[in-house]
Amino acid sequence: MTVRKGKRLAISIQEHMAIDVCPGPIRPIRQISAYFPRLSPTSSFSEPLSPNQAAAPTSLSPGGAGQGGAAGGGGGLLSPAAAGGGGSLSAMSSMDTSIEIDSCDSDDNTSLGTLEFDLLYEKATSSLHCTVLRAKGLKPMDFNGLADPYVKLHLLPGACKANKLKTKIVRNTLNPVWNETLTYCGITEEDMYRKTLRVSVCDEDKLTHNEFIGESRVALRRVKPDQTKHFNICLEHPPPLPSPTAMSTALRGISCYLREWETEQQRSLEERGRLLLCLQYLPPVSEDEDVKGEAKERARGGLCVGVKRCAHLAAMDVNGYSDPYVKTYLKPDVQKKSKHKTAVIKKTLNPEFNEEFFYEISFSELATKTLEVTVWDYDLGRSNDFIGGVSLGCHSQGETLQHWIDCLKNKGKKVERWHTLTNELPGSSVQE
């Protein structure tokens, strides 16, 4: 910008260099000078003003005509009333701008509705029950001014389809009533402490994709075991993703780093699924007792392994599901005879097997063995995919070790427990 000598700038340097540093969307500014208030009236009494400058405040102030006459009769000095009128103008202009922005018709000011539901965590069965009761005042999504709402549940963090549950669809209403209970199996106390339940309401459209209405997120640590907690909450918009385009170069780098770190944390927290096992050691039966049938085969004593069910398995197929089955080994297996396998259950991430396998073994030998349980995805015409597994034995750690010890201590009793599947089994090579 070229400026000739002897001519002053039409605007001050503060106005020339002023920028809007508020984060978020750019809002309209009527006068940028509102960010830089003028000098106080007391400091302007001794400075004479030109006629043009004296006329400006008189024409802008609410009582400008009378004040202008007083200023002219007083030797062209700016009166305190006129200066106060100019200050009120800046306040009024900024007030008008805020009212105009806040009164616009946007989704932020539109009520999405309320949702009512109950949560109950049963510690004995490791299950979380969510009873979706009703919704009120939902946002209309269809042309007829109504909606076809349903509720989706999603445990965070976790795989998408493995953790999602859905209610039935209620047609043509903004005040639906479901009274439907959705149950998550295999929820441990650790899950209740660190996981969050996302409850979202959507509108079903047959011809196009389903539309999102609103959601709410509940930290499961707010729910006490074996106590029903009632929720009546307002639906909200999903939290916005951080946008690095509105940041400076340094903040953009930090944002990208935080995104990568959150992605890694998400991957590390993503589980392969849960497995419900039932272990029972049957002591040998004395010769005096008369046993027949299946009991006769187990008369010498051994380990009974019950594969009950799996929950929240990782999806291994392109359709978002798996075809899971379970294999068990008792290692070291020198004779290669300890392998047992369940049936394959098609297209599910929460299969129920309810199958039992028996290993004839003495109690002293069992202390040196390791039970290896693996879950696989069946694929026709190519190698099966490994989903996850768990090892139980005296060399295990944590919950698996405790389950094994409880089985050996309580002879003849069934000990049931959920286990978290891992990608790799310690001290063994995973092969189909």
In a domain, 320, yes or no: yes
Report, as an integer, the average pLDDT of 151-167: 82
Assigned domain for 188 exists: yes
- Average pLDDT for 49-57: 44
At residue 214, the pLDDT reads: 92
pLDDT in tens, 189-216: 888 988 899 999 999 988 888 899 999 9
Mean pLDDT over 102-111 rounds to 45
Which residues in 38-73 are b (16+ Cβ under 10 Å) and which e?
Answer: eeebeebeeeeeeeeebebbbeebeebeebbeebee
Q: Cα–Cα distances in Å, from 295 out to 115, 299, 407, 411?
A: 54, 6, 20, 16
- 346 and 393 share one domain: yes
Q: What is the pLDDT of residue 149?
A: 95
Q: Are residues 339 and 399 in the same domain?
A: yes
Spatial distance between the Cα atoms of 278 and 282, rounded to a whole number of angstroms: 13
DSSP 314: P
Residues 212 and 347 in one domain: no
Q: Residue 161: which pLDDT band, with cuts at 50, 70 and 90?
A: low
Share of the chain above pLDDT 70, in %: 61
Note the pLDDT of residue 325. Answer: 95
Residues 212 and 317 in one domain: no
Is 395 in the same domain as 316?
yes
> Using a CB cutoff of 8 Å and minimum separation of 24, what contacts does 341-349 make?
342/307, 344/378, 347/317, 347/319, 347/321, 347/322, 347/323, 348/321, 348/322, 348/324, 349/159, 349/161, 349/162, 349/273, 349/310, 349/312, 349/313, 349/314, 349/315, 349/321, 349/322, 349/324
pLDDT for 307 equals 95
Mean pLDDT across 326-330: 93
Selection from 15-24, 116-125, 284-293, 378-387 with the highest mean pLDDT: 116-125
The stretches of 278-338 forming alpha helices (DSSP H) are 294-297
- Convert the pLDDT of each residue in 62-81 to its tens digit: 444 444 443 344 444 344 34
| 66-70, 304-308, 401-405, range with the lowest pLDDT | 66-70
Query: Do 119 and 228 fall within a single domain?
Result: yes
Look at the chain and report how many structural domains it folds into: 2
The Cβ of residue 76 has, within 10 Å, a number of other Cβ atoms equal to 13
394 and 281 part of one domain: yes
Please check whether residues 117 and 229 belong to one and the same domain.
Answer: yes
Q: Which of 114, 139, 117 is nearest to 130 (CA)?
A: 117
Nearest to 216 by CA among 158, 145, 137, 156: 156
The domain in which residue 356 lies consists of 271-285+297-422
Same domain, 275 and 411: yes
Asked which of 305-309, 339-343, 352-356, 392-396 is least confident by mean pLDDT, the reply is 392-396
Whether the predicted model's global pTM rises above the 0.95 cut: no
Q: Please state, rounded to an integer, the average pLDDT across all residues of the chain.
A: 74
Strands 370-377 and 352-360: unpaired
Kindly state the average pLDDT of the residues 221-243: 84
Q: What's the pLDDT at 288?
A: 57
Yes or no: say if 214 and 199 are a contact pair by the CB < 8 Å rule. Answer: no
Residue, of 295 and 420, whose pLDDT is higher: 420
| Range in 168-172, 221-225, 315-319, 348-352 with the lowest mean pLDDT | 315-319
Residue 259 within a domain:
no
The closest of 156, 158, 127 to 314, measured between CA atoms, is 158
The answer to whether residues 196 and 303 belong to one domain is no
Asked if 118 and 230 sit in the same domain, the reply is yes
Per the CB < 8 A criterion, the answer to whether 218 and 119 are in contact is: yes
Q: Which CATH number characterizes residue 130's domain? A: 2.60.40.150
The answer to whether the beta carbons of residues 366 and 281 sit under 8 Å apart is yes
217 and 306 inside one domain: no
DSSP letter for each residue of 141-153:
-STTS---EEEEE
